[in-house]
Chain A
Amino acid sequence: MDLIAVAWPYWHQFFFVLFAATAIGFGFGVLLSKNVVRMAFYLVLSLGSTAGLFFLAGAEFVGAMQLMIYVGGTMVLLIFGVMLTAQKDFINMDTHTQDWILATIVGGSLLMVLLFGAFGSEDWKTPQDITDAEVQATKEATPLGLALTGIRVDTLGESTDAVAEGKSGYLMPFIIVSIHLLVVLIGAAYMARTKKLSHATDDKSSRAKLMLFKMEHEEEQLEEEQYVVTHRAKSALNPLDSENED
């Protein structure tokens, strides 16, 4: 029992390494893959792993949101786009070599700067201890929701004017984003429409309309041309049939 009784306080680290490795690995997959659907697939996995990191950092709601909106919604949309804009096999869309070289140099330098920044501060670099119970307390979604409606629970203790008037929340941005989403919804639906529809004579839908138009005409002509075998007197054929009358 001695062996297993040794506390292993590295769960967070273990899962961090796991999720970070998958996120970055599949990020590379996105970059290096040539097949668009595979790129999308790798992006899903990368974003999913990032959601895992969010969970790990205590942002449960944001993590679930990431899964729901990003992975569930955006990616399906993206795959739709991929399928609707299917490419012919002979169209070559490989990256030029000079692009690769340039992008690697610029990207590498950018990464250096960012990493330097990330590990630059002693405050950020030093891990801080937290108890299990404290972790649980940070995972509340309610304060988040309240903040979106304009109430900052976590700053209730502070007695600034903004707090006292209940103005410290994110109500305004929330409303702006809502309206923005609505506008985007309408705009995207409008943009994706084909505008050529009305005058495309060889369009299939026009042909269907034409078909219906012709059919309606036919029905009109029907009576004139006496094509229908008219209702014969059934009784003439069947003298016994008295209940039917024409």
Chain B
Amino acid sequence: MLLIGTVSVSWYLAVGAVLFVLGAVCMATKRNLLGVLMGVELVLNGANMNFIAFGSKVLRPEGSLGLDGQLIALFVIVLAAAEAAVALAIALNFYNNHNTVDVDRANELNG
């Protein structure tokens, strides 16, 4: 039985693109530090989608990236976890010092 209907790599890329843009807009608009962090996660996820799509042998038996796509995606996930841990530590520190997580208040270095 054929599993694939009309879904191709492009569709996955499109979903990835939408997630990426949503994350980017989220990063740009949120004033809450944690909201910005969530935007970063979304962006990374959107990027990951591309790696998976290009590396998928299900979507593209010929000409796919193969294992490399999945492996890069793995590294991205692991590094995203590390990034989240550090960013949260920064957020907590920021909160301890400023008593808020509003990024607009981080303006000590303004000239």
Contacts and interface: CB of A to CB of B under 8 A. Distances in A.
Interface of A: 7, 9-13, 16, 20, 23-24, 27-28, 30-31, 36, 39-40, 43, 46-47, 50, 53-54, 56-59, 61-62, 65-66, 69-70, 73-74, 77-78, 80-82, 84-85, 87, 91, 93-95, 99-100, 102-104, 106-108, 110-111, 114-115, 117-119, 121, 123-132, 134-135, 138, 143-144, 147-148, 152-154, 170, 173, 177, 180-181, 184-185, 187-192, 194
Given A9-B5, A127-B8, A134-B61, A154 B17 contact: no
B88 A81 contact: yes
17 contacts: A13-B6, A27-B18, A31-B22, A31-B29, A36-B34, A43-B38, A53-B15, A62-B74, A70-B81, A74-B84, A87-B100, A107-B24, A114-B13, A114-B17, A127-B6, A130-B2, A154-B66
B21 A111 contact: yes
Interface string B53-92: 1011111111100110111011101111110111011111
A20 B15 contact: yes
Contacts of B25: 31, 103-104, 106-107
Contact of A62 (B77, B84, B93): B77
Interface of B: 1-26, 28-35, 37-39, 41-42, 45, 48-49, 52-53, 55-63, 66-67, 69-71, 73-75, 77-82, 84-86, 88-93, 95-96, 100-102
A24 B28 contact: no
B52 A59 contact: yes
Contacts, number: 275
Nearest to B100: A91
Contacts of B30: 95
Contacts of A11: 3
Given A30-B42, A39-B35, A144-B70, A85 B5 contact: no
Contact of B7 (A13, A84, A138): A13
Listed residue (A102, A108, A192) with the most chain B CB atoms within 10 angstroms of its CB? A192
Given A87-B100, A125-B10, A127-B5, 20 more contacts: A9-B1, A12-B4, A12-B58, A16-B11, A24-B22, A27-B23, A31-B25, A47-B41, A62-B52, A74-B81, A85-B33, A85-B95, A95-B29, A103-B28, A104-B25, A121-B10, A173-B75, A188-B89, A189-B89, A190-B89
A73 to B, nearest CB: 6
Contacts of B86: 184, 187-188, 191
Contacts of B4: 9, 12-13, 127-130
Given A81-B92, A123-B63, A127-B8, A46 B19 contact: yes
Given A27-B23, A40-B38, A95-B29, A111 B56 contact: no
A91 B102 contact: yes
A238 B27 CA distance: 83
Contacts of B22: 24, 27-28, 30-31, 107
Contacts of A128: 4, 8, 59-62
B71 A170 contact: yes
